[in-house]
Chains A and B, each alone.
Chain A
Amino acid sequence: MTTSPIDIDHLAMKRVDLTCPVDPAELRKLQLGDMVYLTGTIFTGREGLYKRWLDDGIEPPVPLHEISNANFHCSPAAARREDGQYDVKAVTGTASFRFGKWFNRFFERSGVKVIIGKAGLSSEDYRRLFVPHGAVYLTTVGYGLGATYGHAIRHIPAVHWLEELGIAQAMWVLEVSSMGPFIVECDAQGNSLFELSNERINAGLKDVYGDLPQPVLRRFGEVIDRQQEVI
């Protein structure tokens, strides 16, 4: 494993505008902390899609590689209008680490290169699951920028598996214009910005805790190691 030369105090935080489907060569240039804005077609999809396609073996109505190579982990605040069209007013990322077990097969079969979501995965998972497929991970900002992202949606060309999976889990195909910012959390080498941040925060925890004692009653499952992550 390479030691990381990344200095989180001096991230370039460059604005990068990408068109979907995204050119893999562009992805290799991304640096942790860069702010990505996407234009073109992306699709939402999460455990409902992964399970139905990859575990239950049901093919999506349109092959994913024909739609886009950017997959947004989210469920929109959407509703059907009187005229039969859909309103998607706000979209927000949802926690991606829960979908780890499907990624390998998903990347292999979908050709997806960009995952957008919340909280990311561990660098170990990135190196195992993302790097071999040339995929990167972009995190939504703050996670709750629903209006900002919703504002960038121009058109909803299709919704797949709405009946089967419901509004939250359906595949919403979104045509977007400069949707962002999304922060580069995992680059082409599989580095994780969150992990680098954690390392720094962990270094200060001893001081923050001072001599606060452990609780009188310790219970099974309770985390005592302050450096541990829940994902």
Chain B
Amino acid sequence: MTSQNKTMHAQLTKKYADATIGPDWSIIESTAMTLMRNAAISIPVDFKDGIRDATKTERNPLSLFVLEQISENYTTAETDGRPMCGDTGLPRWYVKIGEHCPMGAGFVRLERTLRRATAEATRKIPLRPNRVHPLTRKDHDNNVGIFAPEIDYSFEPDVDWMEITTVHKGGLFGSDYRMLFPADGIDGIKRFFLDTFVEFGRRGMACQPAVVGLGIGGCKDTTMRIAKEAACLRTVGDRHPDPQVAELEEEIKSLGNRIGMGPMGFVGNSAVIDAHIEVAYAHTGGMPVAMHTFCFASRRATARINANGSVEFRSDPKWFTEHHRREGF
């Protein structure tokens, strides 16, 4: 390094260090670790209540037995401090950054911190090291690798906090995509849902009861992404602000519970804990639709880190703000 570069480097370092009045990096690291643990061990309260409500209406003795065991498993996980499911899913991150959040050390540091926390948590909790190279099957035993964990961003105007959510989604079964057209209409969406859910619900491959997330519109990748966000980042019982979408959410939920299928694909009526739908503007000729199911190990945890460094933990990601779903500029 030339001496001129050295001076510049020192100045820049100082500048960034001064800017880190807000979230300090050790806070982000410890917050991320706590989130990983909370997600793996504690079922979000909205989902737990959803299972409890299903227990009240399920009539089939075998399905009822399964629901009761699921609730008991949540309790054992919390009491013993062990992951609720042996498959601890694919941990990923959703970060919402306030317009005035003092991001002193910047995004690269943030990503490194989240990647490191993923690896640390995998060893400490422990989580199952699920991430492997798709071709060589190489496993670093830490859930970190190429494009793993995924980190998605959203921004929020007028605020100075940062919110971090981790989602540990399991399940190889229960996701699908179909290119529909305007002529397919709402019926086409319902049929796609039924085809997918019946297929993957048999033998309980989707580990239902599940939250169904549907994405309608967008490009193929957007469709898949918003379907996943709908399944994983909303809470049981909440409805889309657009009344037409909200109505479809209700219809999909009741349709799913009329299939006659319960948890594990036994006879029953409690396969869908809730249905959430997100829409995105699509190509004028098409209406792509995608679906994700969030299994009964519906693991998510959120923290808000305030500019003054205080941290608040919660289980509702509040990801879909008005700004996040905006239609205008």
Inter-chain CA distance A223–B191, complex, in Å, is: 12
Is A58 part of the contact surface with B, judged by Cβ < 8 Å? Answer: no
Is A129 part of the contact surface with B, judged by Cβ < 8 Å? Answer: no
Tell me whether A204 and B86 are in contact (CB under 8 A).
no
Tell me whether A87 and B69 are in contact (CB under 8 A).
no
Is A190 part of the contact surface with B, judged by Cβ < 8 Å? Answer: no
B126, B170, B260: which contacts A87 (Cβ < 8 A)? B126
The interface residues of chain B lying within 8 Å CB-to-CB of A77 are 83, 86-88, 125-128
Inter-chain CA distance A94–B295, complex, in Å, is: 14
Inter-chain CA distance A212–B82, complex, in Å, is: 44
Tell me whether A205 and B85 are in contact (CB under 8 A).
no
Tell me whether B296 and A215 are in contact (CB under 8 A).
no
Is A148 part of the contact surface with B, judged by Cβ < 8 Å? Answer: yes
The interface residues of chain A lying within 8 Å CB-to-CB of B265 are 194, 197-198, 201
Tell me whether A212 and B187 are in contact (CB under 8 A).
yes
Tell me whether A194 and B195 are in contact (CB under 8 A).
no
In chain B, positions 65-79 with a C-beta closer than 8 Å to chain A are 65-66, 69-70, 72-74, 76-77
Inter-chain CA distance A144–B195, complex, in Å, is: 24
Tell me, rounded to whole Å, the shortest Cβ–Cβ distance linking A101 to chain B: 19
Known: A90-B82, A141-B69, A148-B69. A204 touches B190 (CB 8 A): no
Tell me whether A146 and B82 are in contact (CB under 8 A).
yes
Inter-chain CA distance A11–B141, complex, in Å, is: 43
Known: A92-B85, A143-B204, A197-B265. A79 touches B255 (CB 8 A): no
Known: A198-B202, A201-B259. A142 touches B264 (CB 8 A): yes
Tell me whether A216 and B203 are in contact (CB under 8 A).
no
Tell me whether B261 and A166 are in contact (CB under 8 A).
no
The interface residues of chain B lying within 8 Å CB-to-CB of A145 are 69-70, 73, 85
Is B25 part of the contact surface with A, judged by Cβ < 8 Å? Answer: no
Tell me whether B203 and A231 are in contact (CB under 8 A).
yes
The interface residues of chain B lying within 8 Å CB-to-CB of A87 are 126
Classify the secondary structure of A's interface with B.
mixed
The interface residues of chain A lying within 8 Å CB-to-CB of B139 are 166-168
Tell me, rounded to whole Å, the shortest Cβ–Cβ distance linking A155 to chain B: 16
B199, B260, B263: which contacts A200 (Cβ < 8 A)? B260
The interface residues of chain A lying within 8 Å CB-to-CB of B127 are 77
Inter-chain CA distance A226–B196, complex, in Å, is: 10
Tell me, rounded to whole Å, the shortest Cβ–Cβ distance linking A11 to chain B: 6
Known: A77-B127, A197-B267, A223-B195. A146 touches B86 (CB 8 A): yes
Tell me whether A146 and B87 are in contact (CB under 8 A).
yes
Q: Render A76-120 as a binary contact track against B, CB cut-off 8 A, 1 for contact.
A: 111100000001011110110000000000000000000000111
Known: A79-B123, A167-B141. A144 touches B179 (CB 8 A): no
Most A CB contacts (10 A, CB to CB) among B62, B72, B180, B183 go to: B62
Q: Render A128-163 as a binary contact track against B, CB cut-off 8 A, 1 for contact.
A: 000000000001011111111111000000000000
Is B240 part of the contact surface with A, judged by Cβ < 8 Å? Answer: no
Is A230 part of the contact surface with B, judged by Cβ < 8 Å? Answer: yes
Tell me, rounded to whole Å, the shortest Cβ–Cβ distance linking B113 to chain A: 21
The interface residues of chain A lying within 8 Å CB-to-CB of B181 are 216-217
Most B CB contacts (10 A, CB to CB) among A87, A215, A231 go to: A215
In chain A, positions 185-228 with a C-beta closer than 8 Å to chain B are 193-194, 197-198, 200-201, 204-205, 208-209, 212-217, 222-223, 226, 228
Tell me, rounded to whole Å, the shortest Cβ–Cβ distance linking B169 to chain A: 12
Tell me whether A89 and B194 are in contact (CB under 8 A).
no
Inter-chain CA distance A150–B124, complex, in Å, is: 16
Tell me whether A144 and B84 are in contact (CB under 8 A).
yes
Known: A90-B83, A166-B139, A216-B184. A209 touches B126 (CB 8 A): no
The interface residues of chain B lying within 8 Å CB-to-CB of A194 are 202-203, 265-266
Tell me whether B179 and A217 are in contact (CB under 8 A).
yes
Is B309 part of the contact surface with A, judged by Cβ < 8 Å? Answer: no
Q: Render B195-233 as a binary contact track against A, CB cut-off 8 A, 1 for contact.
A: 100111011110100000000000000000000000000
Tell me whether B80 and A147 are in contact (CB under 8 A).
yes
Inter-chain CA distance A226–B192, complex, in Å, is: 12
Tell me whether A149 and B188 are in contact (CB under 8 A).
no
A-B contact pairs, 14 of them (CB 8 A): A79-B124, A142-B204, A143-B85, A144-B297, A145-B73, A145-B85, A151-B82, A166-B139, A197-B266, A197-B267, A201-B259, A208-B194, A214-B191, A215-B191
Known: A95-B173, A95-B205, A200-B267. 9 other contacts (CB 8 A): A77-B126, A89-B126, A90-B77, A90-B86, A139-B264, A146-B83, A150-B86, A214-B191, A215-B178
B-contacting residues of A (Cβ < 8 Å)?
A: 8-9, 11, 13, 33, 35, 74-79, 87, 89-92, 94-95, 118-120, 139, 141-151, 166-168, 181, 183, 193-194, 197-198, 200-201, 204-205, 208-209, 212-217, 222-223, 226, 228-231
